[in-house]
Amino acid sequence: MQSLRSRLRTLAVATFGRAALAAVLYGVIALPLALVGFFLTLVGVVFGGALSVTTLGLWLLTATVRGALALGAVQRGLARRLLGLEIEQPGGPGAGEGGGSGVLGWRRGVLLDRAGWRAVGCALLTPFTAVFAYAAVVIGYVYGALFTLHPLLKRWNYNTVHSSTGGPAHPVSTEHHVSLEFFGYQLDSWPRWLIPFTAGLLLLAVAPLLLRYALGPHRALVTVLLGPDAATRRIRTLEETRARAVDDAAATLRRIERDLHDGTQARLVALAMHLTVIRELVTAGAEPDRVLTVVDTARGNATQAITDLRALVKGIHPPVLDEGLHAALTTLAADSALPVTLTTDIGSRPTPAVETIAYFCAAELLANATKHARATAAGVEVTARDGLLRLRVTDDGQGGATIGAGSGLTGLLARVRTVDGTLTCDSPHGGPTVVTVELPRT
């Protein structure tokens, strides 16, 4: 009994829950909105195209494109609020950009805007996809509700008609009753009412699934035509990666300057001072033990300065990478505080830039597993397939790692994207964590 109640509750939430009713509202609104946009856009394109040899035609086309862009913004907002579908701004040259200055330049910019004409195409096509969602709402929800409530509607209609005629003393024609016919049988009495009632329940049960599939073509259309195209996405990605690469280079230079100033430079200055003291002691004929003490201190500063320089160089480009990525990862795994299982199948060596990024990603991920994930073991797997170098780092820690929110994975993603690579993280709470980095070999 409890299981049946739970299933009924789940079915009710799926059919009449907030998300389901939001999708129903979208299905009801989308078709009228698409029809209005279709009519206005079609009229603007036809008359504007016919009059395009005149100034009036060009302005009519401009208004049509701007109207299609505004309609696209409304559709993106509805999709985001009612369907949870995030569609990026189309980007690219906006109105007035790339067309020169002044009113004529603004008009030229609008007419040359690819995103605007894609919005026009969307306005002309959306009625043919929105109609499926509207039909799904009518069939699944409207007819489902009518069939389910048919016994009540039948009784209510019967009582209403008899009350208006003064009671059963006045015969009432059957044409005034709500009646259904199924294979020649009138479903106007018990137990025949069970047929529409059951059919209505089945329609309501499958209505969310029916609406979801009916919305599929419409979602795909608005996503493709109202979002950025492939070229715009590529340009946007390149702009972001270039900006991050510049920021990363500037941060690296600041770190090198800070390390040299606070570490190596200070030790070299101390070394110079100790050498001066040694010279003065030798000139003054000081005791050998005193001179040797200062010499030992100077030698310690020199040794530490060399160590700092080596660490600095290793942070820029580990010398072990000169021997190949396998050797570098082997050294990294041996130096890790965790037991690391290393598996490599690289074949020919990738470019030095790709090797460096893969090495630093592995080093950062192993450090995260040690410091934050509370892992007891980790694994590093590197393979080369189909022109891609794939690095997978796993650990048995507590999980919960996410890209963003200031985590180290965000910096790794920025580093990876500079060479058109990708980074994915699968880290459920409780673990394990699997981070996969894919880099082009060249």
CA angle 72, 39, 215 (to 5 degrees): 50
User: 127 Cβ partners below 8 Å, 6+ apart?
Assistant: 31, 34, 35, 38
- Which pTM value belongs to this model? 0.56
- The CATH architecture that domain 319-440 belongs to is 2-Layer Sandwich (3.30)
Residue 104, Cα to own-chain centre: how many angstroms?
38
Q: Is the preceding omega at residue 217 within 30 degrees of 0, hence cis?
A: no
Q: Alpha carbon of 99 to those of 103, 113, 119, 130: distances in Å?
A: 10, 9, 19, 34
Q: Distance from CA of residue 421 to its chain's centroid? A: 16
Question: DSSP state, 429?
Answer: T
387-397 tens-digit pLDDT: 888 999 998 88
Tell me which DSSP letter residue 96 carries.
T
Predicted pLDDT at 177: 47
Q: Where are the domains of the chain?
A: 1-228, 249-316, 319-440
Predicted pLDDT of residue 38: 93
Question: Looking up tokens 């329609």, which residue turns up?
Answer: 203
Nearest-CA neighbor of 391 among 359, 413, 420?
359
Q: Six-digit token pair at 325? A: 């990525």
Residues of the chain under the 70 pLDDT cut:
1-14, 91-101, 150-196, 233, 236-237, 239-253, 255-256, 259, 261, 310-317, 404-407
Contact predicate 378/339, CB 8 Å: yes
pLDDT for 93 equals: 44
DSSP state of 319: G
Exposure string over 17-52, b if 16+ CB within 10 A, otherwise e: eeebeebbebbbbbbebbeebbebbeebbeebeeee
Buried b (16+ CB within 10 A) or exposed e, 179-208: ebeeeeeebbeeeebebbbebbeebbbebb
Handedness of CA 68, 212, 86, 29 (dihedral sign): positive
CA 402 to chain centre: 13
Q: Are 137 and 252 in contact (CB under 8 A)?
A: no
12, 19, 148 from 5: Cα distances, Å: 10, 21, 19
Cα separation, 49 vs 43, whole angstroms: 10
| Cβ atoms < 10 Å from Cβ of 69 | 23
Cβ contacts of residue 304 below 8 Å, gap of 6+? 267
Residue 346's nearest CA partner among 310, 314, 369, 380 is: 380
- Closest by CA position to 95, among listed 123, 72, 127: 72
Contact between 28 and 78 (Cβ < 8 Å): no
- Retrieve residue 205's tokens: 């049960």
Buried b (16+ CB within 10 A) or exposed e, 243-276: ebeeeeeeeeeeeeeebeeebbeebbebbeebee
Could you give the CA distance from residue 346 to residue 62 in angstroms, rounded to a whole number? 55
